[in-house]
Amino acid sequence: MKIEWKDEYSVGIKEIDDQHKYFISLLNDLYNAITAGKSREELKDLFSYLADYAEKHFATEEKYFDEFNYEGAAEHKLKHQEMRDEIEKIKNMDDEKREIDFYGNIVYLLKTWLEDHLAQMDQKYEKCFAEHGLK
């Protein structure tokens, strides 16, 4: 269930690639905590940290979308917002509903979304960002 960095995920911009790699490591930390049988409270804390980091990363990309007038910004921001909404629903859930297997499903959801997002959506802005000097 772990996610591994692949060269095909790279957008050729160190800041963003580093954020993507760190996000993957946080997702893997959550998965490891689940398989190690960590407490519900520890899983909640890990998920909360991962959610906060996702917001930081989305803000970084969106700052560049606006700065460079990226033509695919609206579609990309919509995808970010959809994930923000999902994360917010999970964060606001009653603690009693968040069982260990629930977190496993969340890891799967995030893994699937992230792999698709990195391989598809993020590749679309690579040229625009490079043309504006990001490396």
Task: For residue range 114-125, list pLDDT tens digits in order.
Answer: 889 999 999 999
Q: Identify the pLDDT of residue 96.
A: 64
Q: Is the pLDDT of residue 12 over 90?
A: yes
CATH number of 15-131: 1.20.120.50
Share of the chain above pLDDT 90, in %: 64
**pLDDT bracket for residue 110 (50, 70, 90):** confident
Q: Identify the pLDDT of residue 97.
A: 63
DSSP string across the chain: ------GGG--S-HHHHHHHHHHHHHHHHHHHHHHTT--HHHHHHHHHHHHHHHHHHHHHHHHHHHHTT-TTHHHHHHHHHHHHHHHHHHHTS-GGG--HHHHHHHHHHHHHHHHHIIIIIGGGGHHHHHHTT--
Task: For residue range 52-106, list pLDDT tens digits in order.
Answer: 999 999 999 999 999 999 999 999 999 999 999 988 888 877 766 666 567 777 8
**Domain residue spans of the chain:** 15-131
Q: Is the pLDDT of residue 1 over 80?
A: no
pTM for this one?
Answer: 0.89
Q: Identify the pLDDT of residue 88.
A: 87
Q: Identify the pLDDT of residue 101.
A: 62
